[in-house]
Structure formats: C-alpha cells, structure tokens
Chain A
Amino acid sequence: SQQGEEDPQALSIQEGENATMNCSYKTSINNLQWYRQNSGRGLVHLILIRSNEREKHSGRLRVTLDTSKKSSSLLITASRAADTASYFCATGFGGSNYKLTFGKGTLLTVNP
C-alpha cells in the first residue's frame, strides 16, 4: 500500500501564484522527499527533508515536515508555466532494507 497520500490530486493556478501541495503518511520515516515528473518521463528529485528537520528551502521551493501530524507540505512560490508537472512525495524508511515509497501525486497545472 502507498505510504504517502498527496492532497489535492489536482491543482490549477495562474502564473505568478503560489502552489501548495500536502502529503500525509502513516508510519515512522527516516526522511521525506519530493519529486517532480513531467508527463510520461522519469522523476526528478527536488528536495529531501530529514525526520529531525522542520523546514527546508531550495530556490522557489519550501518544504515543511510535521512528524507529530505525519504530514508535509511543498510550497512553490511565484509559479511558472514550466512548473506544470506531477509532484510526488516519497517516504524513506528502514535500515538495511531502506526503501522509498511514493504517493500517487498531485498534478499541478500552471496557466500562462
């Protein structure tokens, strides 16, 4: 079963607006990662936040993590048409059997 669940499933905004996507998960994690996928292509890593971190920034991206609520959010500021893609959260857990489990993603459409 999927570990992470993104919300909303789809989001449509205008260029220049901010986009916020949320991710909830069920069990303990070592880290939570966000990936982007353009239609029919491979995923590209965006940002990783460790379980002992609360907030992280990378360019126009801001990720927060609340381990008590088992949730994370990805904020994209000043969105551009090129940000149109599916965004996935992935939870990393385990020691020697560490693996990443992905949610079903949020489809973001940025209209010019």
Chain B
Amino acid sequence: KAGVTQTPRYLIKTRGQQVTLSCSPISGHRSVSWYQQTPGQGLQFLFEYFSETQRNKGNFPGRFSGRQFSNSRSEMNVSTLELGDSALYLCASSLGTGATNEKLFFGSGTQLSVL
C-alpha cells in the first residue's frame, strides 16, 4: 500500500504570495490532518478534514485554509505569505472512523521557505 504522498517536497515563495500544498492519503483513509512544524513552536495542528468537511481546526489565522476532495485527497492554501510561515508542513491520514484511539500516518512533508 502506498504511503501518504505530499507534493511538492520543497517550495520557495516571497512575502505576499500564496501557496497550495497537496496531500494524497493512504488508500482507504478518509481523514486528513495538517500540521505546521517549526523549530520554535514544534508541531502545531492546523485542521482536519473528513468526508470533504472540516471536522476540527487549530488556532491559525484565516489565511490558512484547506479542502478535501471526494477521493480524500486534500489541499491546504496559505494566502498573503509572511516570513513566519516558513515551516515544514506535514499531512497525516487516518481511517477516520471516529474512534478515539486512531494513529496517524504522516507524509514526508513540504518544506516551505518564505523570502
């Protein structure tokens, strides 16, 4: 079974631009979560999508948005990029059954650098 695939692997943007990151979950997984990882703040939860609906959301500004398609693939978008948005963005998938003991399967991440 293929793992979680994130594209692109690296991205360089300038302040004010917008960016779209893509995530393909493991086949059969219906939940996709996004995390931002920085050296200072660690791993911070952005949002989770299940069956094309946002099921949970972290404390990030509205510039960060996401969506999920009918095939469970997900995209996240960051508009009006700021220097502080430079981070490793990680996508994780899970079955999404709603069981409270699910584990996450992570992709390798997209390293975003904002200049």
Contact = CB atoms under 8 A, between A and B. Distances in A.
Interface in A24-66: 30-31, 33, 35, 40-45, 48, 50
Interface residues of B, number: 24
Interface string A66-105: 0000000000000000000000100011111111111111
Contacts, number: 63
A31 B101 contact: yes
What is the predominant secondary structure among interface residues of chain B facing chain A?
A: strand
Given A92-B101, A105-B42, A99 B33 contact: yes
A102 B100 contact: no
B100 A31 contact: yes
A45 B105 contact: yes
Query: Chain A interface residue count: which class?
Result: 20 to 34
Contacts of A45: 103-105
Contact of A43 (B101, B106, B111): B106
B105 to A, nearest CB: 7
Interface in B98-115: 98, 100-109, 111
B101 A30 contact: yes
Given A94-B100, A97-B55, A42 B42 contact: no
B100 A40 contact: no
Contact of A42 (B55, B100, B101, B109): B109
Most chain B CB within 10 A, of A33, A95, A96, A98, is at A98
B35 interface: yes
B45 A101 contact: yes
B48 interface: yes
A88 B106 CA distance: 13
B103 A99 contact: no
Interface of B: 4, 33, 35, 42-43, 45, 48, 55-56, 88, 90, 92, 98, 100-109, 111
Given A96-B98, A100-B104, A105-B42, 14 more contacts: A31-B101, A40-B88, A42-B106, A42-B109, A43-B104, A45-B103, A50-B101, A92-B100, A92-B101, A92-B102, A97-B55, A97-B56, A101-B45, A103-B42
